[in-house]
Amino acid sequence: MDSIDEKILSILQQDARISMRNLAKEIPMSVPATCERVRKLEDSGIITGYTVKVNQAKLGNTVNSFIVCSLRIGELESNIRWAKKQPQIVAAYTLAGRHALLLQVSCVDMQEYQELINTLYTCSVIESYIIIETIKDNVFNPREVQD
């Protein structure tokens, strides 16, 4: 991966719906060369898909948080299966360290949030962090992108 690929990823991170023509202008490269670069990034698994960023608050989800869980021995797999089924969990990660699981949660209100927390009965420790404001949520973090 070179600086051109990094620039492509940075641009696509900001606007995944950008046309190949406009992307090519920003690089700058020809449209066919840009399409080939993007295809190679997809084929190599660096680009795994294109998504939509959703403003949870505008959907009516007023309680957004991160929850870290310490699990009892042998409970990771059952908690992973449980997390995948919960519509309020918008992202979940396994971790190395004191906590085994990190959940990003989006709920309509505190009652729904409390009901979700109450179902985390297999966790030995739960720490909850309400999100006040999102300051940055880019996934790709280029070390050095030349303009």
d(CA 60, CA 19) in angstroms, rounded, equals 31
pTM over 0.85: no
What confidence tens digit (pLDDT) does each residue in 23-70 have? 999 999 999 999 999 999 999 999 999 988 888 889 999 999 999 999
The rounded distance, in Å, linking the Cα atoms of 100 and 93 is 8
What are the tens digits of pLDDT across the range 134-147?
A: 888 766 666 554 44
* pLDDT confidence tier of residue 89, bands split at 50, 70 and 90: very high
Which amino acid, one-letter code, is at 69? C
